[in-house]
Amino acid sequence: MIVINARFLTQQTRGVQRFAEQISLELASLRDDLVFVTPANITRHETAERLNARVIGHNRGHLWEQLDLPLWLLRNGRPPLVSLCNTAPLAYANQIVTHHDITYVRYPESYSRAFRLLYCNIMPLLLRRTRALMTVSEFSREEISAHYGYPFDKISIVPNAVSEAFRPFCASGCHEPTPYLLAVSSHNAHKNFARMVNAFLSLQGFDDVQLHIVGDAHGVFAGLNADLAQHPRIRLLGRLTDEELVEQYQGATAFVFPSLYEGFGIPPLEAQACDCPVIAANSASIPEVLGRSALYFDPLNLSSMALAMRRILENAELRNDLRALGRANVARFAWKSSALKVSDLIDQVLTGKRSPRQLVGLSATRH
């Protein structure tokens, strides 16, 4: 029995939870020795049903993860545990842990004091006990190893991917009468939205172009005056369903990703999967994930960002080239491939078995 920490079934969907959900669904189709355990306050009921998730314990949140989960594991023979969402029980050693990035270290202003204290205290203790660590990019592997001193060769890279929902569904696009650039918002400071809005509004000669912002508006306009936040060329769309988001991606002239720091960054891949050209910051893991498939800018330089916006708006040939490069880039990532890496790591680290793929590779090296 391999136990999967499915606390993500109770959490709001962000990149970390999407990773956990998609990896879990793929793992469930690959293996028959998995048990998914969760607190009772499930919000993703369809996924919980597909995973046949088992409710254990009485607490919720971190208390469930640090008390109920390890107690249940001890009472059930200390089985191997896989945690996919950054945190995991400290009092349990027979596990593989996932840590996506150390944004809370590099950009502490993006998080509350309580969040920073939790992560900065829990992670060193957790890394001392876990048998192996997963992360989502080479960039994050280097960052985690350098900051915490965790052995580089014990960190496995398991990339994100794009779910099947993100595919073009309009034969000729879903274009609105008014052209627009698209961005997906967050209140976190490192997402760099204030600079992006200022860069967009500095563009001359594009009065007919709007900026559509998807997601929670709270905090996005921190640092901007009220007039800019209410500017007629800016549309705040709020939270959208995946289907509505696909429509926005497909109708946009381009997707803008201004983030200063990402462990991976799923939204640009979602845009590319929907045939939307991407302009992006040349920071952190973003060039690793996007390669040659995006037009880059310096996220700290308003002129650089505005120039990239101008180029993508003016140059139809560039947009077409980036669409083609984007489709090829998205094809490099797949949830099933990533889940196979997790499955192999489970066999290698937690069960002591070798997967058929490992045995084939070993046989090939011997011959």
What mean pLDDT do residues 286-292 have? 98
pLDDT digits (tens, 9 = 90+) for 157-184: 999 999 888 887 765 556 667 899 999 9
**Rounded mean pLDDT of the chain?**
90
Residue 315 has pLDDT above 90, yes or no: yes
Q: For the residues 149-158, what does the mean pLDDT come to? A: 95
pTM: 0.89
> Which of residues 285 and 360 earns the better pLDDT score?
285
Phi-psi region of 39 (alpha: psi -120 to 50; beta: other; left: phi over 0): beta
The pLDDT score that the predictor gives to residue 364 is 45
pLDDT per position as a tens digit, 11-65: 988 889 999 999 999 999 999 999 999 999 999 999 999 999 999 999 999 999 9
The dihedral built from the CA positions of residue 338, 67, 42 and 40, taken in this order, carries a sign that is: positive
Q: Look at residue 167 in the predicted model and tell me its pLDDT.
A: 86
Question: Lowest mean pLDDT: which of 214-218, 233-237, 272-276, 308-312?
Answer: 214-218
User: Residue 220 pLDDT more than 80?
Assistant: no
The phi and psi torsions of 182 (rounded to 5 degrees) equal -120, 140
Q: Which of 64, 63, 46 minimizes the C-alpha distance to 55?
A: 64
- The structure tokens 């560039």 sit at 318
Which residue is associated with the tokens 């040349």? 282
Instruction: Identify the structural domains of the chain with CATH numbers, from first to last.
Output: 2-161+334-366 (3.40.50.2000), 180-330 (3.40.50.2000)
pLDDT over 90 percentage in the chain? 77
What pLDDT band is residue 232 in, cutting at 50, 70 and 90? confident
3-state secondary structure 139-162: HHHHHHHHHHCCCHHHEEECCCCC
Cα–Cα distance, 2 to 31 (Å, whole number): 10
Name residue, tokens 């988001």: 245
**Phi then psi for 255, rounded to 5 degrees?**
-105, 135
Does residue 215 come out as left (phi exceeding 0), alpha (psi in the -120 to 50 range) or beta?
A: left
In the predicted structure, residue 255 carries a pLDDT above the cut 80: yes
